[in-house]
Structure 1
């Protein structure tokens, strides 16, 4: 199957209560998986929330690009093997880095929850936007391009889309690739919007 076919996975809203929660292999935290496309071990895109309870090394993901966004907590230091140190601070600092990188997470002051976007760099490109939601925002699905929308705060609903239930804070919507279509998201709050497209980004 082509990348385009995988990105056309069914449009839907995923309530936060349906995220799959599992213990890390090293036992030092939890992951709540939101979505993987396709839904198997050979995914192209994966969204999850890491619950980091103590300082811990991150797992390596060869061939994967990652972007972390601090959701909750007082901060997370990311210490890389090359000596680079980057601290994610509230409210929503973020960092993109290669999945191959040797990195450990160090808590600034207590448990953190971190949004984790991962994508296979040789097959898709991804862009993560952090935006306020005031009134309506418009998202366009297209052939080879899909959107994932994670509501950080507030509430929202897709106008004229009775098959898509309203979003509460913490919920995620997937707008699958396909014929060009406009989605109007109406509400108030704050969100992460991730555009995922087939192919590798220029540059």
Structure 2
């Protein structure tokens, strides 16, 4: 197999995924709902990257995801306590507090005061590195995709549009853009609002 062939899924063409197209499904443990934004991975294997929004209406145990790292961002609601089996408790409060933790961790989510919606970034730690940034959008913001580097942009609120050699539709609050790896491409994002920007690249030393 040629070097990095398993990472070809990062070259998936750039596109905008409207919030109305997110797929709603039950949690693996049946205790909540998720709206899946995207999932992708090497052919013939389970997913290596997944973006979703969890809808949490009651205290519930989190599903276990062995081999996965994840980052959770509070999107809406008055907060949630993440209670780990080891005794640690972390409270995520508005606006948009977040936490990175291993998918194997046994934990329970306890609502502070009413339902929450939470952004979930999950990736296979043996294949990928992921960096999540929370930024205001108050003018042009530049993103560069290139061989081995892709971006996912989730617009928390507001509206935005891309200027790029790749034609993409505008973004409204709640939409997500996937900027696929490949030839170096410049994306200028114009608009006003707030976003999560996720840089995804192969982990150094990951098998090709």
Q: Provide the residue aligned with 2:190 in structure 1.
A: 186
Counterparts of 1:135-174 in structure 2 under 5 Å?
135-160=139-164, 163-174=167-178
Mark the runs of 5 or more structure 1 residues left unpaired by the alignment.
none
* TM norm structure 1: 0.94
Counterparts of 1:79-118 in structure 2 under 5 Å?
79-118=83-122
More displaced stretch, 38-47 vs 137-146: 38-47
Distance change in 2, residues 1:90/1:100 (3 Å): same
Q: Specify the SS of the correspondent of 2:7.
A: helix
Q: Please state how far the C-alpha of 1:27 moved relative to its aligned partner.
A: 3.8
Q: Please state how far the C-alpha of 1:24 moved relative to its aligned partner.
A: 2.5
Among candidates 175, 185, 188, match of residue 179 of structure 2: 175
Q: Specify the SS of the correspondent of 2:9.
A: helix
Mark the runs of 5 or more structure 2 residues left unpaired by the alignment.
none
Q: Provide the residue aligned with 1:44 in structure 2.
A: 48
- Kept after mapping to 1: 8 A contact 2:81/2:109: yes
* TM norm structure 2: 0.92
More displaced stretch, 38-47 vs 118-127: 38-47
Q: Provide the residue aligned with 1:5 in structure 2.
A: 8
Distance change in 2, residues 1:112/1:41 (3 Å): farther
Q: Please state how far the C-alpha of 1:41 moved relative to its aligned partner.
A: 6.2
Deviation string for 1:26-66 (max 9, x for gaps)?
A: 44321000001139861111000000010000000000000
Q: Specify the SS of the correspondent of 1:74.
A: coil
Q: Distance in 1 between matches of 2:191 and 2:165?
A: 14
More displaced stretch, 153-162 vs 53-62: 153-162
User: Is residue 2:32 matched to residue 1:32?
Assistant: no
Q: Please state how far the C-alpha of 1:23 moved relative to its aligned partner.
A: 2.2
Deviation string for 1:8-27 (max 9, x for gaps)?
A: 11110000000000122444
Give the CA RMSD over aligned residues. Answer: 1.7
